[in-house]
Each structure stands twice: as structure tokens, then as C-alpha cells.
Amino acid sequence: MGDHVTLTASDGFRLGGYRADSVTPAQAAIVVIQEIFGVNAHIRDVCNRLADAGYCAIAPAIFDRITPDFQSGYSPEEVAVARRFVAAPDWPAMLRDTQAAIDAVRGVGPVGIIGFCLGGSVAYAAATKLSGLRAAVGYYGGAVARFADDRPLVPTQLHFGEKDSGIPLADVETIKAKRPEVEVFVYPGAQHGFGCDARASYDAPSADLAWRRSLAFFAAHLR
């Protein structure tokens, strides 16, 4: 359904990405931000599902500055390799590359952003710092609590798993306390990565509910 694309960031860096367009002309676009596993099959599937829902979806390869076209699965060995990419994350660079994706689809219509894992944190940061967005959704972003002093400039919705070993519920409560205007959902029994059907932690009922909530949120704000 989708195609490889090349994006250009404000500093001139050229990065890859994946874009999926709906069969009928889209009236809005959504930027999809990857986990630490690159623009892999899961992220491309998210783009395709958004295209099926009537959106133009684009996923920038935000690790291209380190290793072009890095993609990974979810085995323990692959997870260990992927974690090296975020040992010292370059947030400004990732946001520049995210802005490049936003700019690439501005002509379609209103633009939203959705991110998973690392991408959930990037999506939140983008909502507080970048231009051209109308709504933001983040799934299990571990750095959101650290960024919570920054107020989103657009409506924002966040999703967390109750049993996420990497994101304590205390962090979720911090986000709720600091950002009461943000819509926050916690899924009972769900672990980190519950929205990805390629992971052992996939939780279909939680994933389905979170996806419905995400689509409803975008439908309300990307008009």
C-alpha cells in the first residue's frame, strides 16, 4: 500500500520514511513515530491502517542519522541492539526529522501525530515544540513524565499499560497532575508494547480499545 519516501530536515539532512495514502483523497494526515525498532513492519502496518481509515500516514526514519534504514524485530537479541540507539537520545535531531515529516504532508490537510514507545515520547515533545500539528497521541512513552512541565500546544491523548515495567504508575500520576488538560488512559493488566501484535506483550483488548480511542480523537481534532 505504501512507498518509501525521502524527507529533508531543516539542517539539510536527508532521511528516509514510509508513506501510505488512502484510496480516496485524504482530508488529513498523521505522522507516525517509530519505536526503537525503526520503521519496521509494525510501524508500516500502523501507517497502512491509518490509510485504511482515510488518512495520509507518514513515518520518518528518525534513526537514519545513526544507521540508515535500521529495522528490527522483537527478540531479546534484537531488543538489546535497538536499545543502543537511545542510550543518549538526540531529541533535537529527532524533532527536526519529525518536523520534516509534518512539513511533507501539510498540503494534505490538518496534521496529527501518533507515536509508540520512544515515538510516544517524541509525539509528546512534538506537541509541545513543533509547528503544524493539530492533535497528538502517544503510546507508552517513557520520557513523557520528564517532559510533563512542557504544555502541549495541541490536544493530546496518552496511553499507558498498568503493568509496564519501564513506566511506573507514579510517572503516569505525575503526568496527570502536571497536565490535567491531557487525556490519559491506563489499561489494566497491559504491559509495555501492548499495542504491537508482533510482541509477546501484545494485549488485543487493550490494543483494540486504544486504537478506537485514537481514531476517535483524530476524527474530533483533524477537521
- Per the residue annotation, which of 42, 192, 196, 221 is the catalytic one? 192
CA distances from 205 to 47, 166, 194, 212, 214 (A): 20, 21, 9, 11, 14
Question: What b/e readout covers 35-72, taking b as 16+ CB neighbours within 10 angstroms?
Answer: bbbbbbebbbbbbebbbebbbbbbbbbbbbbeeeebbb
Cα–Cα dist 221/223, whole Å: 6
SS3 content of the chain, % helix, strand, coil (to 5): 40, 20, 40
Task: Find the catalytic residue in 117, 171, 203, 221.
Answer: 117
For residue 207, what is the enclosing H or E element? helix 204-221
How many other CB atoms are found less than 10 A from the CB of residue 217?
19
Active site residue 221: no
Q: How far apart are CA 117 and CA 213, in angstroms?
A: 18
Confirm whether 56 is a catalytic residue: no
Specify whether 164 is catalytic. yes
Q: Which of 21, 64, 97, 164 is catalytic?
A: 164
Active site residues: 117, 164, 192
